[in-house]
Amino acid sequence: MHECISVEISDLGRLAVLLKFTMILMGGELERFQGLVGQLGLENLQRYSLFRSSDVIELNFKPASVDDITSVHSRSYVSGLEKAMSKASQEGLIFIEGSGPTYATATESLIAAGAGISLVDAVVEASKVNPNPPVGFALVRPPGHHAVPKGPMGFCVFGNVAVAARHVQRVHGLKRVFIIDFDVHHGNGTNDAFYEDPDIFFLSTHQDGSYPGTGKIHEVGCGCGEGTSLNLPLPGGSGDTTMRSVFDDVIAPCAQRFQPDIILVSAGYDAHVLDPLASLQFTTGTYYMLAASIKQLARELCGGRCVFFLEGGYNLESLSYSVADSFHAFLGEPSSASKFDNPAILYEEPLTKAKEAIQKIKHIHSL
């Protein structure tokens, strides 16, 4: 029997975790979580056996500290943002001038980063007593992978994954961190934060030409970090077939060569064919494959230590089903993608262009 944990959606400041079982789910923002499960109806996820209240242990967590945030972001940015946050607490929502349009809601940015830190702590501690620790999933907003060290960008205020990566190095002594970003947009903030770091491998797949225009295939890191950034722009229309090849031919070999101590995932669900912000053709089944494959990779390479962080996803229906199917993968349950995916809306993938991109990245990185 698989066990699962859930989020107490009536309280922002709760971590729902059951360390000895299969999955950890973190709630960092009430409205986003309600929207995620509400689009399907909570009873729908209950029918998926994802919400089993008798199996839930609730742990408190706290917002990230300034020291946590400044492990990635400049202190001048953080101190300036504190003033903006004070204003946001009064007005509820403010516009932050930065590298792009970014909206901040009071303390949500610190809560999201703090939730990720607590989740990483829980997974790492579980791995010390359990050879098959739970997979973590941080359902948080705001997302983080566009936030650059000196400021916000693209809906992102703090780099949630980047902050967690520095935390796991500093607090847990896990030196080698492998970050996978399968959001449809390039995770430029995470990329910039670790571009010269040999101990953090950042791997991004994203749609070629999409926002923010970074993540070119030749961007491989520099200085001591040369070779530990891998950016694979995929041609528009790429879908399940392409992504399976990317995992087998690029992601897995890179991770196996890097030999990480933990795997962190920027899990963006905006590459779904129904998402309005881009034009890749991932399906719910694609995300099930990625979740199952990354979980297995973590088992093989780093004692199962693996934490997912929610990034993009702007069609609530496809987001809900795809996240839910990721949970199925974590739990070892069959995919429910056939209940949602509609093959009739898919068109032929540009497999020749995709293969050329894969072969080029393999050559660049000697895979």
- Tell me, what's the pLDDT at 59? 52
Lowest mean pLDDT among 3-12, 99-108, 162-171, 285-294: 3-12
Q: Which of 274, 259, 261, 254 lies closest to 316 in space, CA to CA? A: 274
20-52 residue pLDDT tens: 223 344 443 344 445 554 543 434 444 444 444
- State the Cα angle at 75 between 70 and 80, rounded to 5°: 120
Q: Which of 69, 102, 329, 294 lies closest to 211 in space, CA to CA? A: 102
- Tell me, what's the pLDDT at 20? 25
Q: Give start and end residues of each alpha helix (H) in the chain.
A: 30-38, 42-47, 66-69, 75-91, 108-127, 160-172, 188-193, 240-246, 252-258, 284-302, 316-331, 351-364
The first and second tokens of residue 141, run together, are 């907003």
155-196 residue pLDDT tens: 888 999 999 999 999 999 999 999 999 999 999 999 999 999
Residue 282 — pLDDT band, cuts 50, 70, 90? very high
- Tell me, what's the pLDDT at 205? 98
Q: Which residue has the tokens 């946590």?
A: 68
- Tell me, what's the pLDDT at 21? 28
Lowest mean pLDDT among 96-100, 241-245, 249-253, 287-291: 96-100
120-142 residue pLDDT tens: 998 899 899 888 888 888 878 78
Residue 63 — pLDDT band, cuts 50, 70, 90? confident
Quote helix, strand, coil % in the chain, to nearest 5.
Answer: 40, 15, 40
Q: Is 153 helix (H, G, I), strand (E, B) or coil?
A: strand
Q: Is pLDDT above 50 for 294?
A: yes
The first and second tokens of residue 315, run together, are 């069609």
- State the Cα angle at 164 between 159 and 168, rounded to 5°: 155
- Tell me, what's the pLDDT at 136? 84
- Tell me, what's the pLDDT at 27? 40
Task: Give me the percent of the chain exceeding a pLDDT of 70.
Answer: 77
Which residue in the list 73, 146, 272, 328 is annotated as catalytic? 146
336-348 residue pLDDT tens: 999 999 999 999 9
Q: Is 81 helix (H, G, I), strand (E, B) or coil?
A: helix
- Tell me, what's the pLDDT at 52? 45
Q: Cβ atoms within 10 A of the Cβ of 141, count? A: 22
143-164 residue pLDDT tens: 899 999 998 888 888 999 999 9
- Tell me, what's the pLDDT at 212? 94
Asked if residues 255 and 178 have their Cβ atoms less than 8 Å apart, the reply is yes
Phi, psi (rounded to 5 degrees) for 79: -65, -35
Residue 76 — pLDDT band, cuts 50, 70, 90? confident
- Tell me, what's the pLDDT at 97? 52
Task: Give me the percent of the chain exceeding a pLDDT of 90.
Answer: 57
Task: Verify whether residue 2 is a known catalytic residue.
Answer: no
The first and second tokens of residue 69, run together, are 């945030």
Q: Which residue has the higher pLDDT, 200 or 54?
A: 200
- Tell me, what's the pLDDT at 301? 98
